[in-house]
Structure 1
Amino acid sequence: MGVAGSFSLIANPGSASRKYALYEGAALRATLHFEWSRGKIICTLIRGADSYSEDVDIRHFDQCASLVLAILQKRKVMTSDDVVEKVGVRVVAPGAYFLADRIVDDGFIAELAAAKARAPLHIAATLEEIETLRRQFDAATIVGVSDSAYHITKPDYAWNYGISLEIADRFDIKRFGYHGLSVASAVRQLTKAGKLPEKLIVCHLGSGASVTAVYKGESMDTSMGYSPLEGIIMSTRSGSIDPTATRVLRDVCGLNDGGLEKHLNTESGLLGLGGSSDIRELLEREAAGDTRAQLALSTYVHSVQKTIGQMAGVLDGADAIVFTGTVGERSAPIRERVIEKLHYLSFVLDETANKNCTASKVVTDINHAGCSPIWVVTANEADEMARRLDYLS
């Protein structure tokens, strides 16, 4: 991950937050997390066992990157003489061009800007982030780290939709897949622990959500496709939906194409079904007798279960299952409900182990003795990105 004494910054721009991690050589020095709280943006910096939170005087996430250096120096993580030599930015974008990590230069920016027309909601934040980072760290080598690269191992039949192959090839309409950094991190941690099985299903359940089939450490298929909208129901994303239904939705709501995409990405999923994108709130409302919350949660769990079944079919079985992502790592009730209908695959929870696991350290076993392994694995996308910087920079 670089020469000791050199600093690298990892940037993970999201629609609802900004995350950063600072490395000195191979060592993680600090993480920063910008998010909305009580009507304003706050930054939480974690350095070892110490944690600091502060309000920041900005109104938009695209301004976060301009504050990173000052906050790191203020908390004495870096001095004014220290230099960030490399910056890695997570890139979520459709297209064969983005299936590889690439140096960010004018050519890269042009490709990303062209892709914005095809998936504006997912790329706009990345473009803004890169522009700010290029200004803030003008001497650093900036690398766009692909969130799809892990899925390059999928067989050819797992890339295509049922449309004209000539059109799909010409216009690059393929099932690229995402959450590759998260899945790669889980596979790396299982390998390090000596636990990686031949046939593995990885459930990344967070604000975005996906299920991936992994065979001998390599991706065989994943639920996300051309964009991160495809697949299972998510916090605010609809997941897969019949295009005919979307046309009707557009017409009855009076939406244009951009408005429809925004609706499916930011006003749907659990938010649309249950009136909240927060699993914790929905669970509380369900416990109080709220039938709408119950329906939203049941539909969500059903969606995850169906997709796990699909991936088991891809692998001709499953030796183990992993839960990662914020919901996967922290929500014992959701894990319990998902596993409830997977006994046919020999997945049975240890109820006590599951309830006690709300923040996995690295790899936590929560399966019943004698049954197939069920692991909770903490996703470490930043570490995965940091490992890949040296290949290009």
Structure 2
Amino acid sequence: MTTPTESTTAVTANATRVLVLNSGSSSVKYQLLDMRDRSRLAVGLVERIGEETSRLVHTPLTGGAEKRERTGPIADHAAALKAVADELTHDGLGLDSPELAAIGHRVVHGGLRFTEPTVITEEVLAEVERLVPVAPLHNPANIAGIRTARALRPDLPQVAVFDTAFHTTMPESAARYAIDVETADAHRIRRYGFHGTSHAYVSRRTAALLGKEPSEVNVIVLHLGNGASASAVAGGRCVETSMGLTPLEGLVMGTRSGDIDPAVTFHLKRVAGMSADEIDELLNKKSGLMGLCGDNDMREIRRRIDEGDERARLAFDIYIHRLKKYIGAYYAVLGRVDAIAFTAGVGENAAPVREAAVAGLEELGLVVDADLNAVRSAEPRLISPNYARVAVAVVPTDEELEIAQQTFALVAPEGV
């Protein structure tokens, strides 16, 4: 774990707020949290950065203030974060507040070097930049957000929390691809995994739901959103995950193919004359549920199934088939499974997905209670009957809180 440098202003005991920033290529999501009680003080989103139709939506959660929205050109990430700072200042929550302890940044790819939250220095930024070739869609945007935030508050501790960090505990037998070792090492080709903050948070919350410590529990976490990933967590440590060198590998996703024969890419180049960029776009943006049936919204797919749409039904069946394969594989990897936890947009809200994913797996101890599964709630809950050998849970993820907690734990003075 990298600790604050001497040049970083000391965090005082009354500084308990953390601003969490998630900078995308054309967006910035943010939340301001008070770590005394883990409450949210403000949340917001800046989208379509660099366009004439940029939009900022800011929701203060204290003092009875109402949600505010502004539209108009926001040129770049610097302008976006300046606009965010202005909105926070309007609510008395500005970046110059002595109560602000740190800014926590989501960084997608940390490679093998960054296994824990890390105070950001120029050396750290340089390494994140060196990882751009393996995360070209994400790390550049994360870097832009960090540089802007550091310019706004150069005296404030800023912490990188890496999506890949939770998965660095995988054994080499799980992390290595079966290709030439020298080539793999020269180009950093291995399985890194993503959604790590979600898998870390949900696996811990699942253990708590069972009344146990994380070290006592083996959990399969299914993070099912537009992007989707699975992980096998043994005693609080990730031992396997479905995403690989990039977030393309693994489960069927909203627009990503997930697992595919690598030779498909050669075939498309030779037979269809497609370029590397065209194949990249096909597999990342025009595949998955979208490629199979023209929709990547599970609610719309279920509506179409109810109306007898066979193409939507096939897409759903392929999605579930892949999901079951991973449940079975991770059951074998773990040897003993105490719980399966569904999370993220689809996992938390799509009861038919949860039901179908475990249907027929009764011999593995997996059963879902239909009535419990139909309940909608923002709280972690069990949806398996009391007699089930393996608990099936729905655990809403909270990646922003996880980033805030990891950030604050790193910079807060002892005893705070």
- TM surpasses 0.5: yes
CA distance in 2, matches of 1:282, 1:138: 47
- Write out aligned runs for 1:201-280 (5 A): 201-251=220-270, 254-280=273-299
Query: TM-score normalised to the size of structure 1?
Result: 0.89
Partner in structure 1 of residue 43 of structure 2: 32
> Structure 1 residue 364 and structure 2 residue 357: aligned?
no
CA distance in 1, matches of 2:128, 2:81: 19
**SS of corresponding position for 2:159:** strand
Q: In terms of Rg, which structure is larger?
A: 2
The aligned amino acid for 2:386 is A
Contact 1:91/1:144 (CA < 8 Å) preserved in 2? yes
CA distance in 1, matches of 2:370, 2:228: 24
Which of these residues, 13, 19, 22, is aligned with residue 9 of structure 1?
Answer: 19
CA distance in 2, matches of 1:344, 1:51: 52
Change (3 A) 1:234 1:93: same
Change (3 A) 1:159 1:32: same
CA distance in 2, matches of 1:321, 1:299: 20
Which of these residues, 346, 350, 355, is aligned with residue 336 of structure 1?
Answer: 355
**SS of corresponding position for 1:99:** coil
Change (3 A) 1:64 1:237: farther
Query: TM-score normalised to the size of structure 2?
Result: 0.84
Residue 69 of structure 1, CA deviation: 1.7
Partner in structure 1 of residue 32 of structure 2: 22
Change (3 A) 1:201 1:25: closer
CA distance in 2, matches of 1:42, 1:277: 25
- Write out aligned runs for 1:97-116 (5 A): 97-116=113-132
Per-residue CA distance 1:83-108 (angstroms, 9 max, x = gap): 54411111112621243332323222
Counting matched residue pairs gives: 389
Per-residue CA distance 1:335-374 (angstroms, 9 max, x = gap): 11112132221111111111113x432x211112311211
Partner in structure 1 of residue 59 of structure 2: 45
Q: What 5-or-longer segments of structure 1 have no aligned partner?
A: none
CA distance in 2, matches of 1:201, 1:261: 29
Per-residue CA distance 1:283-313 (angstroms, 9 max, x = gap): 1122222222212111111111111111011
Contact 2:206/2:341 (CA < 8 Å) preserved in 1? no
Residue 55 of structure 1, CA deviation: 4.1
> Structure 1 residue 386 and structure 2 residue 404: aligned?
yes
Residue 328 of structure 1, CA deviation: 0.7
CA distance in 2, matches of 1:343, 1:33: 43
Contact 1:96/1:172 (CA < 8 Å) preserved in 2? no
**SS of corresponding position for 1:133:** helix
Q: What 5-or-longer segments of structure 2 have no aligned partner?
A: 1-10, 412-416
For the aligned residues, what is the CA RMSD?
2.8
Residue 320 of structure 1, CA deviation: 1.2
Change (3 A) 1:154 1:81: closer
**SS of corresponding position for 2:368:** coil
Contact 2:60/2:67 (CA < 8 Å) preserved in 1? yes
Change (3 A) 1:56 1:134: farther
> Structure 1 residue 285 and structure 2 residue 304: aligned?
yes
**SS of corresponding position for 2:219:** strand
Contact 1:21/1:28 (CA < 8 Å) preserved in 2? no
**SS of corresponding position for 2:387:** coil
**SS of corresponding position for 1:117:** helix
Which of these residues, 205, 217, 242, is aligned with residue 189 of structure 1?
Answer: 205
CA distance in 2, matches of 1:262, 1:21: 31
Change (3 A) 1:378 1:3: farther
Bigger drift between 208-217 and 61-70 goes to: 61-70
Change (3 A) 1:58 1:235: farther
The aligned amino acid for 1:71 is E
CA distance in 2, matches of 1:65, 1:224: 31
Which of these residues, 174, 186, 193, is aligned with residue 190 of structure 2?
Answer: 174
